[in-house]
Chain A
């Protein structure tokens, strides 16, 4: 009798456990480049197959992703603006920030190359030439990681582009793809992350003009959201996903993702 009850309980517990694993889903607040480039479409099925956890991605700019995460509207944060990410953790909203992968920023421009920057490596020099020549430049003009990087580069080039806002300097206030569409539409230079550029399908006569400067390094980080600040967080599932991304399996999968033979993201999680 006792035996029977015990095994029935065991079965019930097992079933409940299985049901739980199947029901599990988490929300990732993410930057747009990882989503628009198709990286998640490649990674998530691999992870779901292994863990049974459904990952739902909300892809917005880094600034909005962090703001949403501060409202506890997510379980994991995956963005690219290190100082902001560190502030997020310092304020207690994230448990820990870990380097996940990197790629780099590039400046793309029209075939005519009005500022004559094609082939330059020195990004600050290229920006100075754009400003001096009053060549059209389309900026994100939002709170994204890419925009923050752009602002930093202008500052290093000692140019205040905002003074020219609305003339040669155009702030679209939109995502990377929308800014590329707008920039290409008006013949403007655009600073973009390489992943979005490679996967972008409306390139027309545009090509990469400036690349390879170490200042254009673009680091992505992953941060599980802290249950102490956000009790609704699905801690275990979020941690499972973060651990997988940082594991050999996840890192290999990131490196394996290619478009037209080009690798988009380079894994660089710290080795255990």
Chain B
């Protein structure tokens, strides 16, 4: 049996060798999942903020649905997107199946509910603090949303990171809509699945470790942005 130590060694030598295929796979993983996270934030944050401050009939049902959608199985999202983008499907004429775009669409659908539901909770807590102040300033709903999003931006970064983490780690959706095509739609998780099915467990684990470090890197980058911004704010 391979030990984790072997995998560490292999991961290190893979990274140090500057393997071009590996670099391409890593870059595609980042491109797909970061784009999906950005789009999911554009869609999910305003929705989360609106639901956070609005009071309407059936709101509790909306909250339950939003929270439940966080548990969307990636493979189901993959199938739904496949059925739309397949040549036999309604959007087949776009020719998007088996492209990185299809993978971005699938991951966006997967994590937008996460961004919306988590940001709703964060902003609602913030709103209870600010509600009176907003009322005294006679802010419109749009202004209130803007103020909440701005003041909650650091907490919302963590929300974005949660979405990114889910996107970059999932394999079920991208393998269906991307097809794991070498040099075209192969990302870290589908490469790991492939090496596992080839029985090359050491390589699969090494790729897994590299994926872990990428996630660490992205989180560290966001954290440093946050710290720098916080420092500026206090100067």
**Chain A interface residues toward B at CB < 8 A:** 27, 32, 36, 40-41, 56-59, 68, 70-73, 174-178, 180-181, 199-203, 230, 232
B contacts with A: majority SS = loop
**Chain B interface residues toward A at CB < 8 A:** 86-89, 92, 95, 97-98, 179-182, 184, 194, 196-201
Task: Give the complex CA separation of A58 and B89 in angstroms.
Answer: 18
Least CB distance from B82 to A in Å reads 8
Are B95 and A232 in contact (CB-based, < 8 A)? Answer: yes
Task: Give the complex CA separation of A202 and B181 in angstroms.
Answer: 23
- In the complex, 24 of the A-B residue pairs with CB atoms within 8 angstroms, ordered by the A residue number, are A27-B98, A32-B197, A36-B197, A58-B98, A58-B179, A58-B180, A70-B88, A71-B87, A71-B89, A72-B87, A72-B92, A73-B86, A174-B197, A176-B197, A177-B196, A177-B198, A181-B197, A199-B198, A201-B198, A201-B200, A201-B201, A202-B200, A202-B201, A232-B95
Task: Give the complex CA separation of A203 and B196 in angstroms.
Answer: 12
Contacting residues, chain A, for B180 (C-beta < 8 A): 58-59
Contacting residues, chain A, for B98 (C-beta < 8 A): 27, 56, 58, 73
Are B199 and A175 in contact (CB-based, < 8 A)? Answer: no
Contacting residues, chain B, for A177 (C-beta < 8 A): 196-199
Contacting residues, chain A, for B95 (C-beta < 8 A): 232
State whether A230 and B87 are in contact (beta carbons under 8 Å apart), knowing that A58-B179, A73-B97 are contacts in the complex.
yes
Name the residue of chain A whose CB is nearest to the CB of B175: A60
Least CB distance from B86 to A in Å reads 4
Task: Give the complex CA separation of A202 and B97 in angstroms.
Answer: 33
Are A56 and B86 in contact (CB-based, < 8 A)? Answer: no
Contacting residues, chain B, for A73 (C-beta < 8 A): 86-88, 97-98
- Other CB < 8 Å A-B pairs besides A177-B199, A232-B87, 20 of them? A27-B179, A36-B194, A56-B98, A56-B182, A58-B180, A59-B180, A71-B86, A71-B89, A72-B92, A73-B87, A73-B97, A177-B197, A177-B198, A180-B199, A181-B196, A200-B198, A201-B199, A230-B87, A232-B92, A232-B95
Task: Give the complex CA separation of A56 and B92 in angstroms.
Answer: 18
Task: Give the complex CA separation of A68 and B86 in angstroms.
Answer: 8
Are A181 and B184 in contact (CB-based, < 8 A)? Answer: no
Identify which of A40, A72, A199 gathers the most chain B CB atoms within 10 Å of its CB: A72
Task: Give the complex CA separation of A174 and B92 in angstroms.
Answer: 27
Name the residue of chain B whose CB is nearest to the CB of A60: B179
Name the residue of chain B whose CB is nearest to the CB of A37: B198
Name the residue of chain A whose CB is nearest to the CB of B178: A58
Q: Select one of B86, B194, B199 contacting A72, CB under 8 A.
A: B86
Task: Give the complex CA separation of A71 and B181 in angstroms.
Answer: 18
Name the residue of chain A whose CB is nearest to the CB of B87: A72
Task: Give the complex CA separation of A26 and B201 in angstroms.
Answer: 31
Name the residue of chain A whose CB is nearest to the CB of B2: A202
Name the residue of chain B whose CB is nearest to the CB of A176: B197
Identify which of A40, A73, A178, A200 gathers the most chain B CB atoms within 10 Å of its CB: A73
Task: Give the complex CA separation of A27 and B98 in angstroms.
Answer: 9
Least CB distance from A87 to B in Å reads 18
Task: Give the complex CA separation of A40 and B181 in angstroms.
Answer: 11
Are B196 and A178 in contact (CB-based, < 8 A)? Answer: yes
Contacting residues, chain A, for B181 (C-beta < 8 A): 27, 56-58
Shortest 3 CB-CB distances between A and B: which pairs? Answer: A177-B197, A202-B199, A72-B87
Task: Give the complex CA separation of A135 and B98 in angstroms.
Answer: 41
